[in-house]
A and B are shown apart, each in its own frame.
Chain A
Amino acid sequence: MTESHENPGPVKPGTRPVLSLQKISKRFGAVHALTDVDLDVHVGEVVAIVGDNGAGKSTVVKVMAGVHPQDGGTIVFEGRPVTIPSPGASQDLGIATVYQDLALCDNLDIVSNLFLGREALHGPFLADGYMEQEAIRLLRTLSARLPSVRTPVSQLSGGQRQAVAVARSLLGKPKVVILDEPTAALGVSQAAEVLNLIGRLRDSGHAVVLISHNMADIQAVSDRIVVLRLGRNNGTFHTADVSYEEIIAAITGATDLAPRRSS
């Protein structure tokens, strides 16, 4: 492997990562889920985290989302070392996480889902008009194809639901959006919608972290690819430079790109 693949540097030189995980470790009993994992995320880029089952992709997401605080290592957000002890803390920092199951209420319409738990009030009453306008504005920035914001979520397609979940995550004006397997279990046209959505998130200046199994999707939308293998980093690539075969080799361990640490 060439050296440039081991440390390709940031996508845009001179920019500081908005979120940086440094030497993150996480243990569950005897299981070392993560060992010294590094991850930098910059504004306006899509970073894909790939790896085999049990490589630690979901654990990294849960560390960033505050579900499982790390055992060792530091998290730096916008240049400041921070702790993320809870999901609330993660959201307050400006990290929004969209999980695979989306956590939407099927019986409620799109507006109610978007503002669930943080309804806008006008005096003692719900500010329905405001929420509806805000929902329309948000969904329009995502160019989501939705018939009406008063449609119950149960009637939406998989891609439309994903759009609603992403829109909800954008309500708190996050800087980092984490998407966990957003195209899994979607049909091809809905997956297309979601991939376009990821591109628009990137273009609107968000940092996007994408977890996916689908190599074609990752190659299509990501700017950098971070490979995890058995809870360790096994290479970081610029998507523009790397072939499908090289990524598969890094995932399976056919090439060993784990950073050597003297300590």
Chain B
Amino acid sequence: MNAKQATPGSQSSLRESNRARIVEAIKHYGGLTQVELAGATGLSAATVSNIVKELAVAGIVHTTPSTRSGRRAQHVTLARTLGLVVGVQFALRHMRVALADASGTIITEHQLPLGNDHRADAGLDRAALLIADMLESVDAMSTDVLAVTIGLPAPIDVRRATVSTPGILRGWDNVPVAEVMRKRVGRPVYVENDSNLGALGELRYGAAQGCQQAVYIRVSQRIGAGIIIDGHVYTGAQGTAGEIGHMTIDEDGPICRCGNRGCLETQAGAHVLLESLRGSHGVLTMRDMINLALEGDLGCRRVIADAGHHIGIAVANLCNLLNPSRIVVGGDFARAGDLLLDPLRDTVERSALAGVAESMEVVTGTLGDDAEIRGAIALAIDKAGIHADVGATALEVPTFSYETTKEDR
């Protein structure tokens, strides 16, 4: 795509960058009138009008007449000839809802903080309301939605679409998530583990692109993994594969939420790290801890390094089993970068078989926080059976990126 870009500084490159600016603004706000577009982009009304006309002809945007302060106006949204998909990610302390077009480009998204031990009924209700709000903001109807994917931070029984192990995500136990949500939104709903979605996201769009054998490790409030075998995310017989957080690290360790002893999460889960800082640092949030570590706070650096070491033991075992070529670390702690990764690498080198560790690299994900939501959208597109190529538009806008997706796994 870059090869076709016009020479910088020329008239056409200016036009191109203005076009990109307008598309960005529409993506950011969901939908805008032309007058608001002019305000948001800083371009003149005439330029906006010309470019919008061009984009509409090319089928990239869609205009509908509306009114603004009693005057006639053009409401501009991204075109969605193929329909939309929705990705919903529930984390332990927040949820994220994103609406994307058939090419996987996120059109609009919302994030909402959640309390400890949030409940399924309230969460799904809010998600459904957010979806309805977002559809309205882009002038779409619920019938435009082809599929909804929900990611949850717990082992998922994919066929029954429930949390398979009680106690891990209190408030969601025994809730038939897909069924409840299908009743709310009236469209097909799929439920998947968030680490598996993260793995899919990094596989399609991020650091695991082109990898046949890789493991995605999500280190956040909890620790999970998504396993990529032969270029596909491996989910296991029931769908719960990759629960690295519940790998036994210390047989005599403390009891975990899952009911076993000494799981990785009882050594390196965020709540354990925060608890160990409580005496010296008071009550921190996970984000505070990571920020302090990045600023050079020794105590925070130490607990993150210790976590890296513990995760490294589990990863070394996993590497001996699977022999991946790349380990992609994502989740909130990926932001800590080498503070987490260096001790992790050291431990893997020490504990994994010599040849295994050398043929493998440990990297941070390139999608950051977006890995799970992008994966949710990729899965929804797969389930809806659209091929991304069809979503390609006649006119190439530099900010549009779409990938050729592999067949449904």
Contacts and interface: CB of A to CB of B under 8 A. Distances in A.
User: Does chain A bind chain B?
Assistant: yes
Interface of A: 9-13, 15, 145, 147-152, 155, 187-189, 191-193, 195-196, 199, 203, 215-216, 218-221, 223, 238-240, 243-244
Nearest to A193: B110
B8 interface: no
Given A147-B32, A188-B129, A192-B110, A220 B281 contact: no
Given A147-B32, A147-B39, A238-B283, A220 B115 contact: yes
Interface stretch (B10-18, B116-124, B295-303, B340-348): B116-124
A9 B278 CA distance: 12
Contacts of A145: 28-29
B112 A192 contact: yes
B111 A196 contact: yes
Contacts of B134: 189
Nearest to A14: B282
B114 interface: yes
B403 interface: no
Given A145-B29, A189-B110, A244-B115, A155 B68 contact: yes
B3 to A, nearest CB: 34
Contacts of B118: 216, 219
Contacts of A11: 282-283
Given A9-B282, A216-B114, A239-B115, 6 more contacts: A145-B28, A147-B40, A148-B40, A188-B129, A193-B110, A240-B283
Tell me which of A148, A196, A199 has the highest count of chain B C-beta atoms within 10 A of its own C-beta: A148
A192 B283 contact: no
Nearest to B279: A13
Which bracket fits the contact residues of B? 35 or more
B116 A219 contact: yes
B202 to A, nearest CB: 25
Tell me which of B28, B114, B115, B280 has the highest count of chain A C-beta atoms within 10 A of its own C-beta: B115
Interface string B50-86: 0000000000000000001100000000000000000
Contacts of B111: 192, 196
Contact of B113 (A149, A150, A152, A199): A199
Contacts of B29: 145, 147
Interface of B: 28-29, 32, 36-40, 68-69, 93-94, 110-118, 122, 126, 129-130, 133-134, 137, 274, 280-285, 287
Contacts of B137: 189
Tell me which of B114, B133, B283 has the highest count of chain A C-beta atoms within 10 A of its own C-beta: B283
Contacts of B284: 12
A195 B113 contact: yes
A220 B93 contact: yes
A240 B116 CA distance: 7
Top 7 nearest A-B pairs by Cβ distance?
A: A219-B115, A148-B39, A220-B113, A147-B36, A192-B112, A12-B282, A189-B133
A195 B129 contact: no
B133 A187 contact: yes
Contact of A223 (B116, B117, B283): B283
Contacts of B130: 188-189, 192
Nearest to B25: A147
A188 B40 CA distance: 24
Contacts of B69: 152, 155
10 contacts: A9-B282, A12-B281, A147-B40, A188-B129, A188-B133, A189-B133, A192-B112, A219-B115, A220-B93, A220-B112
A187 B283 contact: no
Nearest to B283: A11
Contacts of B39: 147-151
